[in-house]
Structure 1
Amino acid sequence: MKVGFIGLGNVGGKLAGSLLRNDVDVTVLDQKPELVAAFVERGAGSAASAVELMRACDAVITCLSSPAASAAVMAEMLPEVGPGKVWLEMSTTDEAEIRRLAVLVEERGGKAVDCPVSGGCHRADTGNISIFAGCDRETFERVLPLLQRLGRRILHTGPIGTASVLKVVTNYLATANLISVCEALVTSKAAGMDLNIAYEAIKISSGTSFVHETEGQVILNGSRDISFTLDLVAKDIGLFQAIAERAGLPLELSPLLNEIIRDGQARYGPRELSPNIIRRLEDATGLEIRAPGFPAEMTDDEPEAPGYEVVPGGTRSDLVG
């Protein structure tokens, strides 16, 4: 399978790197020529446009910054979509928009998969990231070998759009956890706790989480570098809130989280690293949340291995029968 990849940013560049590392025939496209050039040096092909990429490839993956960016790229590619072509949307996007674009693809005889990733840039870099895939079962089985080269744990979530819903649900939970981790660390410091000990206490207790064990470390290091920015957080939790509003849900925590992130953007800028949302509390209290011995960025120490399908307990016959 000849694969095109559009979007070589923090996540996309690492995913495309996994394809190259696993000997997939990859042609790349990005607005930044230097990113494309680096991939060409590693053995990738390059294309001058999205339409050229779709014309030349069996499958095209997009990993872009916003639903609007994905829509613009699809508008360019659409004339070359036809039977045998597959579009895989790996961006975090709006489930209504992915369904709209999927209809356009399928009207021309192609197939669409919404397959966002979750687990952090450090896991995207090693091929150990998790992938949600929303599409019909036949298409899922067709693209599964490709997804197994991109990630470790692959979950077929159901029809197109379901993966995007679950992606923003998980990102919402990560944001809620980030804010609570910030408050927990600041409160520990204010109470006179040693932050190295506080980190370990949380880690070995019922309070631990993926966010605490990743973003908590770069917060304490002071780098706050998790390769994710406040504008992306705002996009993701805004998408979650939109889903809730369409369903008429009277959520209480979600609107507050959106307000906290908006305030952080206003104070520190939309491109501020997301763990630096803790600066709101540092500025308000005068406390510095730092501790020695923590890394400046996260690395994944899980050995790379072929990906596999995750089958939810109790629903195996529904998903793979």
Structure 2
Amino acid sequence: MKIGFIGLGNVGGKLAGSLIRNGQNVVVHDLDSTLVAQKVADGAIAGHDPAQMMRDCDAVITCLPSPAASAAVVQEMLPQVSEGKIWIEMSTTDASEIKRLAGLVAAQGGKAVDCPVSGGCHRADTGNISIYAGCDRGTFERVLPVLTYMGRRILHVGEIGTASTLKVMTNYLATANLLTLCEALTVMKASGVDLGLTYEAIAMSSGNSFVHETESQLILSGSRDVNFTMDLIQKDIGLFQKLADDAGVPLEISPLMIGMMTDGQARYGARAQSDRMIERLEEATGLRILADGFPQELIDDELEERGYEVPRRH
């Protein structure tokens, strides 16, 4: 397949990099020409605009920062959508919006895949991230070989919109875990417990998690740069709250999280790194939540391997 890739930011640039590194025929586009030039130097072809990319490619992947950005790109591509063309949406977006846009693509004879990723930028960089794919089975089997170059574990979740619904749920859980870890680390520091010891105690316990094994390290090193910003967190947990509101589920923790993240944005900036939320507690207590021996950036130490489909439980 000739693959177009639009959106070369923190996640998209790494996903596109995995395709290029594995010898795929990739055309790239981004509003930042520097990002395009970097991928061209790695072996990609520069695309002119979304319409041209849909015309010239078999499939076009979008990985963009907001539902509005995705909608604008799809509108540009639509006149060039025809039988056999595929749009793969790898942004985190609203399920109803992906269904609407997929309907427009289908009306032109094309296919759409709702295809968000989960697992952090460091795993996107090595092709080891996890991928959800929402689409009909036939389309899934067409795109699966492409997805296995970008992700390790690929789950076919069924119809369009399901993948985005699952993704905002997982980001909600990750954010809740980040905020509780900030509180746990601060309470241990205030109680006189060594934070390096605290990290290991959590890591070997029932309290362990992916977020602890990744973001806690960046908090303790002082880096606080997880490549995921507060505005993206707000988008995702806001989408989860909308799901709950639409389903009539009266959440209690979710509104508190949204309020906490809003306060973090007011203090540190709308696009501050999400793990700077620890600094709210540092300011409140006068403590520094730091420990020696932790990295300034996350590196995926899992060897890159071709991905595979994860079987569903029935």
Using the size of structure 2 for normalisation, the TM-score is 0.99
Q: Given the alignment of the two structures, is residue 201 of structure 1 paired with residue 201 of structure 2, yes or no?
A: yes
User: Match for residue 244 of structure 2?
Assistant: 244
Partners of 2:262 and 2:68 in 1: CA distance: 20
1:155, CA displacement in angstroms?
A: 0.3
Partners of 1:202 and 1:83 in 2: CA distance: 52
1:312, CA displacement in angstroms?
A: 2.2
1:48, CA displacement in angstroms?
A: 1.3
String of CA shifts for 1:119-177, please: whole Å, max 9, x gaps. Answer: 00000000000000000111111111111111000001110000000000000000000
1:309, CA displacement in angstroms?
A: 0.5
Could you tell which deviates more after superposition, 45-54 or 213-222? Answer: 45-54
Which residues of 2 match residues 1-321 of structure 1 at below 5 A? Answer: 1-313=1-313, 315=314
The one-letter code of the counterpart of 2:298 is M
String of CA shifts for 1:196-239, please: whole Å, max 9, x gaps. Answer: 00110000111110000100000000011110110110001001
What's the % identity of the aligned pairs? 67
Local SS of the residue matching 2:133: strand
Local SS of the residue matching 1:37: helix
Could you tell which deviates more after superposition, 42-51 or 82-91? Answer: 42-51
**Aligned-residue CA RMSD (Å):** 0.5
The one-letter code of the counterpart of 1:302 is E
1:305, CA displacement in angstroms?
A: 0.6
1:42, CA displacement in angstroms?
A: 1.1
String of CA shifts for 1:75-113, please: whole Å, max 9, x gaps. Answer: 100000010100000000000000000000000000000
Partners of 2:136 and 2:264 in 1: CA distance: 40
Partners of 2:213 and 2:165 in 1: CA distance: 25
Partners of 2:272 and 2:208 in 1: CA distance: 25
Partners of 2:26 and 2:173 in 1: CA distance: 33
String of CA shifts for 1:218-275, please: whole Å, max 9, x gaps. Answer: 0000011110110110001001001110001101111111111011001110111100
Partners of 1:265 and 1:73 in 2: CA distance: 28
Partners of 2:41 and 2:251 in 1: CA distance: 49
Partners of 1:312 and 1:193 in 2: CA distance: 42
The one-letter code of the counterpart of 1:263 is D
Partners of 1:244 and 1:110 in 2: CA distance: 31
The one-letter code of the counterpart of 2:134 is G
Partners of 1:230 and 1:297 in 2: CA distance: 18
Partners of 1:162 and 1:59 in 2: CA distance: 21
Partners of 1:265 and 1:55 in 2: CA distance: 40
Partners of 1:52 and 1:33 in 2: CA distance: 17
The one-letter code of the counterpart of 1:298 is L
Local SS of the residue matching 2:208: coil
The one-letter code of the counterpart of 1:78 is L
Local SS of the residue matching 1:15: helix
Partners of 2:223 and 2:25 in 1: CA distance: 36
String of CA shifts for 1:35-70, please: whole Å, max 9, x gaps. Answer: 101111111001111111111100000000000000
Local SS of the residue matching 1:152: strand
Local SS of the residue matching 2:275: helix
The one-letter code of the counterpart of 2:239 is L
